[in-house]
Amino acid sequence: MTPSPHPTARHIINPRLDKLPDYPFERLRGLLDPLAPPPGLEPISLSLGEPQHPYPDFVGEILHDNRHLYGKYPPVAGTPDFRDAVTEWLNRRFDLPGGMIDPDRHIAPCAGTREALFRTAFLAVPPEKAGKQPVVLMPNPFYQCYAGAAIAAGAEPVFVNALAENHFLPDFAGLDPAILARTALVYFCTPGNPQGAVADLAYLENLVALSRQYDFTLVVDECYAEIYDGDPPPGTLQTCTGNGELSGILVFHSLSKRSNVAGLRSGFVAGDADLIKLFRNLSEYGGNPSPLPVYAAATALWRDEAHVVANRALYVEKFDLAERILSNRFGFYRPKGGFFLWLDVGDGVAATKKLWRQGAVRVLPGSYLSADDPRGGNSGDPYIRVAMVFEHAVMADALTRMSEIL
- What pLDDT digit, counting tens, does each position of 373-396 carry? 887 889 999 999 999 999 999 999
List residues bridging with 364 in a β-sheet.
385
Which pLDDT does position 241 carry in this prediction?
A: 87
pLDDT of residue 1: 46
In this structure, the dihedral spanned by the alpha carbons of residues 200, 201, 203 and 209, taken in order and rounded to 10 degrees, is: 170
**What is residue 374's DSSP assignment?**
T
- What does the DSSP assignment read for 256-315? HHHSS-GGG--EEEEE-HHHHHHHHHHHHHH--PPPHHHHHHHHHHHT--HHHHHHHHHH
What band does 244 get if pLDDT is binned at 50, 70 and 90?
A: confident
Q: Can you give the C-alpha Rg of the chain in angstroms?
A: 22
CA distance 356 to 4: 49
φ, ψ at 158 (rounded to 5°): -120, 125
Buried b (16+ CB within 10 A) or exposed e, 369-397: bbbeeeeeebbbbbbbbbbbbbeeeebbb
In this predicted structure, what is the pLDDT of residue 334? 96
Q: What's the one-letter identity of residue 318?
A: K
More confident residue, 361 or 243: 361
Cα(254)–Cα(21) distance, integer angstroms: 25
Is residue 4 over pLDDT 70?
Answer: no
Comma-separated ranges of CATH 3.90.1150.10 domains in the chain? 15-45+307-405
Tens digit of pLDDT for each residue in 122-132? 999 999 999 99
> What average pLDDT does the structure give for the chain?
95
Closest CA to 117 of 300, 328, 268: 268
* Distance, CA of 311 to CA of 328 (rounded, Å): 27
CATH topology of domain 58-304: Aspartate Aminotransferase; domain 2 (3.40.640)
Beta bridge partners of 156: 135
Nearest to 214 by CA among 240, 188, 187, 180: 180
Give me the mean pLDDT over the 282-292 stretch: 92
Chain centre to alpha carbon of residue 156 = 20
What are the φ and ψ backbone dihedral angles of 144, each rounded to 5 degrees? Answer: -55, -30
CA distance 41 to 245: 55
pLDDT in tens, 313-332: 999 999 999 999 999 999 99
Q: Is there a contact between 152 and 172 (Cβ–Cβ < 8 Å)?
A: no
Give residue 315's identity as a one-letter amino acid code. Y
Alpha helices in 100-224 (DSSP H): 114-124, 144-152, 177-182, 201-213
pLDDT of residue 337 exceeding 70: yes
Closest CA to 300 of 111, 63, 114: 63
Residue 277 CA: distances (Å) to CA of 25, 104, 242, 368, 372: 34, 10, 23, 35, 36
Residue 252 CA from chain centroid, whole number: 9
Gap between the Cα atoms of 229 and 234, Å rounded: 13
CB 355 within 8 A of CB 363: yes
- Between CA 227 and CA 48 the distance in angstroms is 16
Q: 346-375: per-residue pLDDT in tens? A: 999 999 999 999 999 999 999 999 999 887
What is the location of CATH 3.40.640.10 in the chain? 58-304
Considering the domain delimited by 15-45+307-405, tell me its CATH architecture.
Alpha-Beta Complex (3.90)
What average pLDDT score do residues 23-40 get? 96
Q: Is the pLDDT of residue 304 over 70?
A: yes
Write the single-letter amino acid at 299. T
Mean pLDDT of 174-183: 98
Sequence-distant (≥ 6) Cβ neighbours of residue 307 within 8 angstroms: 55, 56, 259, 301
Q: Give phi and psi for 157, each to the nearest 5.
A: -75, 135
Q: Using CA atoms, how far apart are residues 296 and 272, in angstroms rounded to an integer?
A: 25
Give residue 18's pLDDT. 86
Q: What percent of the chain has pLDDT over 70?
A: 97
Where helices occur in 183-272 by DSSP H, the ranges are: 201-213, 255-258
Q: Is 1 helix (H, G, I), strand (E, B) or coil?
A: coil
pTM, whole model, 2 decimals? 0.95
Beta strands in 312-405 (DSSP E): 340-344, 361-362, 364-365, 383-387
How crowded is residue 133: how many other Cβ atoms within 10 Å of its Cβ? 14
Given this model, what pLDDT does residue 5 score?
52
